Structure 1
Amino acid sequence: MIAHMRKSDFGIQTVQSHLLSVSALAKEYGKKTGFSAMAELSGFLHDMGKNTKAFSTYIEDAVKETGEPLERIDHSTAGAKYLYETYYVDVPKTESDKVSNIVVEVVGMVILSHHSGLQNFIQPDGSRSDFFRRVCREDLPYYEEVQKKFLSISGNKEKVGSLYYASLGEMEIFFSLLQQLLQKYPNTKGKTKNSPYIYLSLVMKYIFSCLIDADRTDSRRFDERDTSIMHQSNQDFFKDSYNHLINQLEKWATGTDASKPINKLRSEMSEQCDKLAEEPSSIFQLSIPTGGGKTLASLRYALKHAQLESKNQIIYVVPYTTIIEQNADAVREIIKNKEKVMEHHSNVIDDVTSDGEPDAYRQAAQKKLQLARDNWDHPIIFTTMVQFLDTFYGKGTRKARRLHNLTNSVVIFDEVQSVPVKHIPLFNSAVNFLHHFGKSSIILCTATQPTLTKTAYPLLMSKDAEMVRNLPDVVKAFERVSIENKVENEGWSAEKIGSFAVDVLKENKSLLIILNTKKAVLNVYQQLTKKTDCTVYHLSTSMCPQHRKDILANIKKQLKHANKKVICISTQLIEAGVDISFECVIRSLAGLDSIAQAAGRCNRNAEREKGIVYIIRTKDEVLSKLPEIALGQEVTEEDVLSRSELANDLLSPVAIQTYFDFYLNKASREIKMTNSKLNVELIELLDRCPKYIAAIPNDDPKTLMSSMYKTLESHFEVIEAPTTAILVPYGEGKELINNLNEDIQDYTKLNEYLKKAQQYSVNVYRHTLQDLASKGLITSLFNDSIYALKDGGYHEEYGLEVEGEGKLSHSIF
């Protein structure tokens, strides 16, 4: 029976061959957490439904184009149905019966969902569970033929049985670990909640990830005739990289600046991280003050710990795409290897348009896009918080295939305070799963640590998790700026900010202005280009990553010239992870964490005794759609600046802790935590949500699993308003647009283009996309799967230009 057929030579992969290959791959992925049998079982049964003559004919007709393609055949249900009919206990009476049913429900749901995304065990409208609707289907076409063919193959029945019983053992071990965890971190009634159902749901998503990646990888390898060796160890690479890092640190230790107090402090904290790398896996906080070298300190921990604890990968999760390039380039330079570090910025192609069955009867372009996408298989990865959360909770199947690579790894969250407030329960649950069940070591990096252990769904972290000893003393020693409060009730106009900036530059050579909205940044930029002859730069997310990278490189060059004055006006994107130092900073009022990050761009290397950070209120910032920034403003002004004992030491751990205590408390009341359409928190959809359990009819069968992943994913958005990536004609983006406008047969080349396209893309909201389309400023590429911007829609100074008046060197259309 045929599972896949190659378009190029009509080569055939049999169903049995595909099932054995996928189950072996899934088993390998599952080994990292002790769920190898469940992953292997899902792989062995996932395409059982292809064991029919009808499906073989279906594939052959579609690939050879011998006639009208037949109607699609449901081949995802059979494996789950067989598992259910063979091992499910209708009325579970013992704990063993319950464990058995949970295994069948978890593995069965993974199998029947592997082309659609995980389905619901409970329906929001009270209708029948997706699980029972599918596995109890009596009219499933060809099921008797499928079962007969599958069981006629020698050893298949026995293999399923052995994997099932091994899966029972894995689930019992999981429950034992879960019990230990709940005893160590007991629920505090009314304050915190640790639910076993959430972790069961995440185990299911993990096994789903193993299956999806195994299925897609085997399909691609068959299609490309790829027989290369997989699952190569990264231990030698981590060892070599660690040695390169230590050699570089030793060189710096003998340099002319090594004796500076700030560099001695950086060295001391780096050595503390090195020592802690010898400890067992844990969840750590790394509260190095801004400019303290946390990227290299965390890398030092990660490279050493990955060797000692045999971790598979090192993954940096950063808040914005803007800081990926700089951090990734810094790491590449240190470890002397460019190929082993992967940057994953954003999705150039919408997941919804091409998710689903990757067989030849789908459109060829969509199949190529799906199989070409990277699954995070590099030893060092830089990605964003959006991509991290989407991996656990995003819609579809593509993002989920990366999840298993987050386990048995070192995961470093840079600027962890940037987690959206309404998603803290989901973030905490994901991190808890990765460490306590996924065997990953976690570092929460930031100069301003939020109190994630005190939330309703808390981060399960030890009290002595701080990596920096004597933190208050370290923060004091790193003090390089003074902060002046110039906040006025009426707010400053763009003209007033421009005039003040000109005055500031009379006494300083460089000035950074950080405002909260792109419109405010553009207004001040336009004012300053009229008011001063010095070099003025604009930075915002209206520019593609490569454009921003080039601008930052130019600014750094200008800052080195003794006789040149420089002004940069930027949104908050410059605050996180950008290694740059200005003599003076003007910061529009925001959360204290943002002000602290802004201060980290001032006098960063103690070039002078003290730099100055001015806090102002900007008149033309509209924050109605930015509730977290608006709340941060309010808390900073009312609960921190108003207190004399804090206002004079705004960057102290006490001030930061006070800010977050008030902020998270107010956020829980003022920022809508519940989903507006469902009127429940999304985390409840992974738990036993009383609202929906109560809606199940009394005479309906009930599963032990209660997750509603399909409903969660359909309502989950890291960013409130969804965005679409548009490829822009800046620099090499022009050539990429030309390349992606052609029919590309080579998967490797396509994957290379898609990776590079992340550097030349801008994410826009739906209304902006519609504006650009109405003005004829966008075109589509690669069978309408990718959007590209025409020249008039992009400006060489400030990026996206909705009015079509952008200026670039020449047109490509």
Structure 2
Amino acid sequence: MAGKLWAHSARSSDGLRHELGDHLRGTSRRAGEFADPFDAGKLSAHCGLVHDVGKGSCDWQSRLMRAEKHGGRVGGMHKHAGTWLLDQQGLGIMAAIVFGHHGGLPSRSRLKAELQFADTHPLVAEAIGRVGEIVPEIHLPGPIPLPGWLPDAAATDPYALDLLVRMVYSTVVDADYLDTEAHFEAAARPMHPTSAAGLVERYEQGRVKMLADVPPSPVDGHRSEVYAQAVDAAAGPRGIYRLPGPTGSGKSLAMGGFGVHHARRHGMNRVIVAVPFMSITEQNAAVFRNLLDRDCEDPIVLEHHSGIDLDDGDPAARWQRLAAENWDAPFVVTTTIRLFESLFSNKPSAMRRVHRLAGAVIVLDEVQALPDHLLIPILSALRTLTDYFGTTVLLASATQPPFELLSPLRGTRIREVIAQPKPLYKALNRVRYRWLLDPKPTMAQIADEIAAEPQVLAVVNSTSDAHRLHRMVDERRPSLHLSTRMAAAHRRKTLEEIRRLLADGEPVAVVSTQLVEAGVDVDFPKGFRAYASADSMQQAAGRVNRSGRLAYGRMTIFDPEDGNKAAKLIYGAALEATRDRFGPHCPPDDLDAMEAYYKARFDFHNVEQAGQEIQKERQAHDFPRVAELFRMIDEWTVPVAVRYGDIEQLERIVAHLRGGHPGSSAQLRALRPYVATLPRGAATRAVDDGMAAPVVGDLIEWLGDYHPQRGIEVTSPDPEELVF
């Protein structure tokens, strides 16, 4: 008889070890429950049941006792037994789930090699035999039921199996984490008591209260109509929806309202709102918290992105830290980067939350910002989620791309939230364009014009142009600046100051890179935008006369003869597609011209081919290669810790990180308010010149000057180092 077998060492509170049978059954139960929304409960439960069978060998048990007594890692092999068992039971690629439950999903070729190794290894047979005595159900009496939709899906969707593996892997990894945590914490983590399906009344009450506190606006009637149409559309079936709406039309409230009403209609557990930039994440999360959270109650809204500090002593911090690991919250606000890089990852820490996408309402805000080269795999995954995993997707944008032209959504019904968008765009046309293209003005001339305006926003295409134009304007009058060369907390503070000055009717001039465009809630009477892609120019115009309190705001589009060199680098063929269609004869808010622009942009960027390598590797089940290829952030930017705010806290964090102390991940989260970014080349030169010093990984600490308005200022001959 095997006797007692252990999964984990003794916990410090009472000295009790974690029995292996309890851990396997506990993981199985949780994984099965997580997978029920996509009809894979029995499959996930069985994968969870066998995931740690390899711990049954005498060798591994001895290693555990030695590590418990002397410290250090257990080591040894424990993944091969369960992997081999699944393969022998005819579950094929699903065996990768067990092999990768700690280190990450492997490639099919790696899995094949490991199975050959396991086939003759004596510890594999020994572990299976010993565990089988105490958990006999690891041996199947018959085939495991697979999702009923899988045969049809396999015939029509070549990526359905890829997503099923990812989903089942996520359930097993999350269940493993939670069962292990329950042992060491001596208590199971309570699941959130509320689901998104129960949030409608709370949301509607919060909305009424919020609107009562906002000064009336001429566009309020249109915003109410947009909201009403979103709620009406929420009564429709699960699937893909589109919410086009001009900037300032109340899309944020409408898309949240759609989410909670649709969740109630279909009994769905969560709404996940994903936006492209952290600045919008913080803004939207604050809005939704105001609507949904209540004092002295469990928080409803989880804000999860790379910039949030979860270790600030707030009573809600522990809930946020735990929930962020697996999105166990009814309303999640995150970034598209975190959402999709989790979905296409192969690592357990990122993927343990992926199963929460099943049966969820996913709201993708500012979808025009999704990178063209990744559109094919992204849209393909969204379609599979809606077809087979009970998910609904809402695509929201003021400059809505016609994604139905691309192969993943071709032939898919996309339901319109706004039945007649053109009249809405016409009614909310609050901006008149002015063009300074021929002759081209100088930056000094533009600075003169900006300085003459009481309240004005100027948006340019690069940090170099932003720094230069801000210096020129600031010489003429006091002004503010926004770019990623500033620490996150610095940008947040600057935005708060901008909004205060605007609300009080005080003079304010702002020079920014394009980070201010997508969804940042500011309302200027006049704006200036360096020539860019059509969608970027229209998004910038959305910061002008946003609330319609003027007959018309004015947006000046300029193409400076001594600036704007980074525009072609940033926008590529989209810039040429814009020049062919937009100018004094046709403003960027022309919907027909915008659709033609996107068609040309998709062709110029060869979007259909750009994502095919990822799709090919998805079909081949090369999970590490997919993760390597799927990158939403260019790797030539690096994080830089700057001395802004509480310098003593920054020094403590940096010292901890440099010392490699436990808890470094928590320290990284606490570091985010201090982080700016630099191009990799500029960062390398700064370290070589003694202006910065390495900390850990690619993180560096800035030792040079930090401008109180513009942040880090560096010069570079490389145009790729001018962006953002």
TM-score normalised over the length of structure 2: 0.88
Residue 75 of structure 1: which of 70, 73, 78 is its match?
A: 78
Question: Any conservation in 1 of the 2:364–2:396 contact (CA below 8 Å)?
Answer: yes
Relative to structure 1, is the Cα distance of residues 737 and 40 closer, same or farther in structure 2, using a 3 angstrom cutoff?
farther
- State the AA in 2 paired with 1:443: L
- Which residue is 2:112 aligned to? 132
SS at match of 2:495: helix
SS in 2 for 1:142: helix
Q: What does residue range 555-634 of structure 1 map to in structure 2 within 5 Å?
A: 555-562=498-505, 564-618=506-560, 619-623=562-566, 627=569, 629-634=571-576
Specify the alignment match of 2:403 in structure 1: 452
1:469 corresponds, among 410, 419, 430, to 419
Q: 1:139 to 1:802 in 2, by over 3 A?
A: farther
The match for 2:600 is 662
Conserved 8 A contact 1:340-1:380? yes
Give the conservation status (yes or no) of the 8 Å contact 1:727–1:789.
yes
Q: Quote how far apart the aligned CAs of 1:375 are.
A: 2.2
Within 5 Å, give how 1:78-157 maps onto structure 2.
Answer: 78-85=81-88, 87-88=89-90, 104-121=91-108, 129-137=109-117, 138-157=119-138
The count of residues paired between Structure 1 and Structure 2 equals 692
Higher mean C-alpha deviation, range 223-232 or range 287-296: 223-232
Q: How far apart are 1:115 and its partner, in Å? A: 2.1
Match of 2:614 among 669, 677, 682: 682
Please give the per-residue CA displacement for 1:71-126, whole angstroms capped at 9, x wherever unaligned. x32211211211222x33xxxxxxxxxxxxxxx123211111222222222xxxxx
Asked if the contact 1:327/1:577 (under 8 Å) is kept, the reply is no
Note the 1:290-689 alignment, pairs <5 A.
290-337=247-294, 339-346=299-306, 374-458=325-409, 461-463=412-414, 465-488=415-438, 492-502=441-451, 505=452, 508-530=453-475, 532-533=476-477, 535-562=478-505, 564-618=506-560, 619-623=562-566, 627=569, 629-641=571-583, 644=585, 647=586, 649-668=587-606, 673=610, 681-687=613-619
Distance 2:550 2:36 in 1: 53
Residue in 1 aligned with 2:635? Answer: 721
Does the CA-based 8 Å contact 1:481-1:599 persist in structure 2?
yes
Question: Residue 257 of structure 1: which of 216, 241, 258 is its match?
Answer: 216
1:372–1:750 CA contact under 8 A, matched in 2? no
CA contact (8 A) 2:639 2:675 kept: yes
Q: Which residue of 1 aligns with 2:167?
A: 206
Secondary structure at the aligned position of 1:640 is classed as: coil
Q: Which amino acid aligns with 2:304?
A: H
**Separation (CA, whole Å) in 2 of partners of 1:672 and 1:682:** 10
Cα drift, residue 729 of structure 1: 3.8
Which string of whole-angstrom CA distances, capped at 9 and with x for unpartnered residues, describes residues 639-667 of structure 1? 3338x4xx1x4312112111111111111
The one-letter code sitting in structure 2 at the alignment partner of 1:266 is R
- 1:188 paired residue number: none
AA in 1 matched with 2:424: V
Quick one: distance in 1 between partners of 2:181 and 2:713?
Answer: 39
CA–CA distance in structure 2, aligned partners of residues 513 and 144 of structure 1: 69
Structure 1 regions of 5+ residues with no counterpart? 89-103, 122-128, 183-195, 350-369, 675-679, 688-705, 804-813
In structure 2, the CA distance between the partners of 1:243 and 1:263, relative to structure 1 (3 Å rule), is closer
Of residues 149-158 and 590-599 in structure 1, the stretch that sits farther from structure 2 once superposed is: 149-158
Structure 1 counterpart of 2:40: 35
Against the structure 1 CA distance between its residues 229 and 786, is the aligned structure 2 distance closer, same or farther, given a 3 Å change threshold? farther
Instruction: Give SS of 2:103's match.
Output: coil
Looking at structure 1, the residues matched to 239 and 259 of structure 2 have their Cα atoms a distance apart, in angstroms, of 12
Q: Work out whether residues 640 and 675 of structure 2, in 8 Å CA contact, stay in contact via their aligned partners in 1.
A: yes
- Aligned residue for 1:100? none
1:800 to 705, 712, 715: 712
Shift of 1:750: 8.2
Asked if 2 retains the 8 angstrom alpha-carbon contact of 1:314 and 1:381, the reply is yes
Aligned equivalents of 1:6, 1:774: Cα separation in 2: 48
Residue 19 of structure 1 is matched in structure 2 by 24
Is 1:218–2:143 an aligned residue pair?
A: no
SS at match of 2:353: helix
Could you tell me whether the CA contact under 8 Å between 1:241 and 1:303 is conserved in 2?
A: no
Cα distance in 1 for residues equivalent to 2:135 and 2:595:
64
How far apart are residue 735 of structure 1 and its match?
2.5
1:606 and 1:347 map into 2 onto residues whose CA distance is: 32
Corresponding residue SS for 1:439:
coil
Matched, 1:275 2:232: yes
Distance 1:221 1:727, change over 3 A: farther
Amino acid aligned to 1:245: G
How far apart, in 2, do the equivalents of 1:269 and 1:208 lie? Answer: 39
Identity %: 23
Name the aligned partner's letter for residue 600 of structure 2.
F
Q: Distance in 1 between matches of 2:551 and 2:630?
A: 47
Q: How far apart, in 2, do the equivalents of 1:213 and 1:114 lie?
A: 10
Structure 1 residues 547 and 756, CA gap change in structure 2 (3 angstroms): same
> Using a 3 Å threshold, how does the CA distance of structure 1 residues 748 and 528 change in structure 2: closer, same or farther?
same
Equivalent-residue separation in structure 1 for 2:105 and 2:135 (angstroms): 31
Find the aligned partners of 2:387 and 2:70 in 1 and give their Cα distance: 51
Does the 8 Å CA contact 1:425/1:458 hold for their aligned counterparts? no
